[in-house]
Amino acid sequence: MGLFSRRKTNFVDSDVLVIGGGMAGCGATYEARHWGRDLNIVCVEKANIERSGAVAQGLYAINCYMGMQWDENQPEDHVRYARNDLMGLVREDLGYDIARHVDSSVHKFEEWGLPMMKDPETGRYTREGKWQIMIHGESYKPIVAEAARKAATKVYNRIMVTHLLMDKSKEGRVAGAVGFNVRTGDFFVFRAKAVIVAAGGASHIYKPRAVGEGMGRTWYAPWSSASAYALPIQVGAKMTQMENRIVLTRFKDGYGPVGAYFLHLKTYTENAYGNEYESTWYENTKELVGDYVDRHPVPTCLRNHAFLEEMKAGRGPIRMVTKEAFQDPHKETVGWENFLGMTIGQAVVWASQDIDPKHTNPELTTSEPYVMGSHATCSGAWASGPEDYSPDEYQWGYNRMMTVDGLFGAGDTIGGTAHKFSSGSYTEGRIAAKAAVNYIKDLGKDAPQVSEDEYENLKTEVFKPLENYEVGRNEIVAGTVSPSYLLPMHGLQRLEKIMDEYVGGISSHYMTNEPLLTRGLELLGTLKEDLDKLGAEDLHQLQRAWELQHRVLASESVTHHTMFRKETRWPGYYYRGDHMKLDDDDWHCFTLSQYHKETGEWELEKAPVYHIVD
């Protein structure tokens, strides 16, 4: 018995267990109550749902709104848009399903008090772009959280979920989850009939541009720690498109968003010498991807590609031309408010660097890669689709159920559906919850059973880093260095270095190839072995330890997927130097993986892409 296994264990029974109370988790919690009036609905969140997840500090725009009431767009249009941006590869059934329901979610946000910008003459929401509407969104997350809080039987804040539990009575069926309270250290066993994973995307698996003291400054939320992928991967759920990591072009050093600048303020980019550069790279890009470069709008990755090539040609920095637009006082106000409502850090960076965009055109940069399923890329779990719309091959029961029985997902968790953003993630949470409630009703008395052995073993495993530290600190040789343990921060930096140098990060201009990936996997293998020796001096570090475990498993998945897809489908996101061209003959398909925990082996396969919308 370990030193820390005497910790208190709390048991929580639920019908629907929602893991992660961000946008998708709040949507799932809210909707589960609608369909399951008398059900026990529990939401568990490692922070506090009031201000957790990628929307924590607010947003200035809702990026996915059809506007069907005014006949602005139809769901099919959104499918075409996402398909085009992802170079052909999206789950059209899932995307359509979100698009047809997303407007109703946005209308609820307004009803609950979210201030929307409106055209005073038409009464319509102000459009930032074809899909985006503008909001005064500092309090977006608290508003959405309030509805979830009222709907839930109970919300458990400050509990980090580390593992899912499997049913002892039926193989391949989920039965709940375990985790620990990051403040009290209590261990929690959540028993559930259905589980919805909505734990966000993954930052900090690649070395960020800002290191040392500034390493928290990343584009994606630093607390998005890949649990959304690791939890299902651990129990054998299939993943898809994990190679489809995202790289963002953003304002330098603060990662301030550029969408409102391009779309609303009509600013544009130029190289260091004041020249337009995208057309310079047209022929080069066409060589790589063929006609995809002629699509409208030009896919996001290809615009990154032109940016990167121009930088490599020595004509950087690339700047956003703001000096013209900012002469208009209205545009100047919008430009600043855009940051104050969602990325206040960018305003602070500009102030600290003496950049007034009215007089100086600010620099842009490309970010380190992130893994996510809700923004402009679509990594995540392979999920069953809606029964009225999906081809048979994409359907095995309940909408948004993964390949593990009773395990559902939404938002960044689910793969194949890019461009859902905050509103689409929320909507997907609602869709998943409705299906989960149906699943529970169909279960009848056949409820899953958790195994005492399983959760007791996990309890020992979860607290082991505290024990490693307690024992190993007696051997500290200097500062914090002990020969017996690895601190979470050291493990994280090792992971980021491996991913950066071998799996196409910033230091290699996002380039990789088979030999690099092979070596990367070897190094990830030794890192994984060392994770048994993680040492945590307190509960905060214990959380960091488990976040690292999740990040490493997700990184392994990304590396295997990147190795499997022998083409460069998305130049500007990453390059396979040994297969530099897009290859529609062999790779117009999804990549799927499954992890076998007992052997540590990964199995990869292809799945067809069905084009359902013309």
Pair type for strands 174-181 and 187-197 = antiparallel
Interatomic CA distance for residues 60 and 338, integer angstroms: 6
304 binds ligand FAD (CB under 6 A): no
Q: Is there binding between residue 199 and ligand FAD (CB under 6 A)?
A: yes
Binding mask 424-443 for ligand FAD (x = CB under 6 A): -x------------------
Q: Write out the E strands in 342-465.
A: 364-366, 380-381, 407-409
Backbone angles phi, psi at 320, to 5 degrees: -90, 125
Instruction: Name 460's Cβ contacts closer than 8 Å, sequence gap at least 6.
Output: 1, 2, 5
Q: Is 545 left (phi over 0), alpha (psi -120 to 50) or beta?
A: alpha
Position 24 contacts ligand FAD (CB under 6 A): yes
The nearest distance, CB 502 to ligand FAD, in angstroms, is: 25
Asked if residue 55 lies in contact with residue 23, where contact means CB atoms within 8 angstroms, the answer is yes
Question: Furthest-apart CA pair in the chain: how many Å?
Answer: 72
593 with 603: CB under 8 angstroms?
A: yes
Taking the least distance from each CB to ligand FAD, the nearer of 106 and 521 is 106
Q: Which of 21, 448, 504, 520 binds ligand FAD (CB under 6 A)?
A: 21
Binds ligand FAD by CB under 6 A, chosen from 44, 247, 349, 371 = 44
In terms of CB distance, is 281 or 339 closer to ligand FAD?
339
Interactions with ligand FAD, residue window 143-172 (CB under 6 A): 160-161
Judged by DSSP in three states, 336 sits in: helix
Q: Which is nearer to ligand FAD, 59 or 436 (CB)?
A: 59
Tell me if 62 contacts ligand FAD by CB under 6 A. Answer: yes
If the CB atoms of residues 269 and 423 are measured against ligand FAD, the closer one turns out to be 423
We find the least distance from the C-beta atom of residue 227 to ligand FAD, in angstroms, to be 3
Among 43, 54, 165, 247, the residue binding ligand FAD under the rule CB under 6 A is 54
Give the binding range for ligand FAD (CB under 6 A) out of 40-48, 281-289, 575-583, 594-602: 40-48
Of 389-418, binders to ligand FAD (CB under 6 A) are: 411-412
Q: Which residues within the stretch 110-139 sit at the binding site for ligand FAD (CB under 6 A)? A: none
* CA 270/CA 103 separation, integer angstroms: 36
Minimum separation from the CB atom of position 407 to ligand FAD (A): 15
What whole-number distance in Å separates Cα of residue 573 and Cα of residue 300? 9
Among 17, 18, 19, 89, binds ligand FAD (CB under 6 A): 19
For residue 284, give both structure tokens. 């080069």
Helices 300-312 and 282-289: angle between axes, nearest 10 degrees: 130
Residue 464 token pair: 């082991």
> By CB under 6 A, is residue 262 in contact with ligand FAD?
no
What minimum distance in Å lies between the beta carbon of 127 and ligand FAD? 13
Question: Is residue 503 a contact point for ligand FAD (CB under 6 A)?
Answer: no
| C-beta closer to ligand FAD: residue 129 or 577 | 129
CB of 25 to ligand FAD, least distance (A): 5
Residue 103 touching ligand FAD (CB under 6 A): no
Q: Are 22 and 55 in contact (CB under 8 A)?
A: yes
The answer to whether the beta carbons of residues 58 and 26 sit under 8 Å apart is no
Residue from 375, 430, 544, 576 in contact with ligand FAD (CB under 6 A):
375
How far CA 6 is from CA of 129, 162, 606, in Å, comes to 56, 18, 46
Cis, peptide link before residue 297, omega less than 30° from 0: yes
41 scored as a contact of ligand FAD (CB under 6 A): no
**Which residue lies nearest ligand FAD, judged by its C-beta?**
22
Contacts of 393-396 with C-beta under 8 Å, sequence gap 24+, read: 393/607, 393/608, 393/610, 394/91, 394/93, 394/610
Task: Restricting to residues 238-257, name those near ligand FAD by CB under 6 A.
Answer: 257
Judged by CB under 6 A, the chain residues 179 through 198 that form the site for ligand FAD are 198
DSSP 384: -
Q: Considering the complex, state which of residue 164 and residue 355 has its C-beta at the smaller distance from ligand FAD.
A: 164
543 binds ligand FAD (CB under 6 A): no
Number of residues that bind ligand FAD (CB under 6 A): 40
Helix H or strand E encompassing 85: helix 75-85
Pick 199 or 462: Cβ nearer ligand FAD: 199
Q: Can you say whether the dihedral through the CA atoms of 78, 81, 86, 91 is positive or negative? A: positive
**Of positions 423, 549, 557, 562, contacts ligand FAD by CB under 6 A:** 423
Residues numbered 207 to 236 that lie near ligand FAD (CB under 6 A) are 219-221, 223-225, 227
Least distance to ligand FAD, CB of residue 566, Å: 30
How far, in Å, CA of 482 to CA of 124, rounded? Answer: 62
Applying CB under 6 A, the residues found at the interface with ligand FAD are 19-25, 44-47, 52-55, 59, 61-63, 160-161, 198-200, 219-221, 223-225, 227, 257, 374-375, 411-412, 421-423, 425
